[in-house]
Amino acid sequence: MNKAVLLVGHGSRRNGANDALLKLCGLVEKKRPGIPVRHAFLQFAAPNLPAALAELAKQGMEEVTVVPVFLYEGVHIHEDIPEILSEARALYPGMRVVQAGILGIDERMADIIWERVDGSGWTRGE
């Protein structure tokens, strides 16, 4: 079965900010070589989510798992993305489209935050 993972970010008017999602795609793809990992944005950058889904359908993907690269569950997660995915399911009935959970808050993030704080030159004051 042809499967792909589609990471979806918010998008920014600053191209440099959008490059972070492309870098993340590369890191994710390295973990499971052979599974295509693509990207899309909800706003301000290309490809947008409908265009990325159209391209995956054109490539003959039979299943696409959409992973929202978000920390919080807001309107994009509960309304915007599900609406776009519903439209894609109607347009591409041969392609199963599923929405994975958001990245969310994970205990491992606390370690990363403290690594960043310690790397900033911050002194503990002990």
User: Considering only CA atoms, which of 90, 44, 85, 83 is closest in space to residue 67?
Assistant: 85
Distance, in Å, from the CA atom of 96 to the CA atom of 11, rounded to the nearest integer, reads 25
Specify if 21 maps to a domain. yes
User: Considering only CA atoms, which of 77, 9, 74, 95 is closest in space to residue 46?
Assistant: 9
CATH label of the domain that carries residue 44: 3.40.50.1400
Number of domains in the chain: 1
The pLDDT, as a whole number, for residue 122 is 85
Specify if 125 maps to a domain. no
Per-residue pLDDT of 38-97, as tens digits, reads 999 999 999 999 999 999 999 999 999 999 999 999 999 999 999 999 999 999 999 999
The pLDDT, as a whole number, for residue 25 is 97
Specify if 124 maps to a domain. no
The pLDDT, as a whole number, for residue 68 is 98
Per-residue pLDDT of 5-45, as tens digits, reads 999 999 999 979 999 999 999 999 999 999 999 999 999 99
Q: Which two tokens stand for residue 57?
A: 């359908």
* Alpha carbon 66 to chain centroid, angstroms: 7
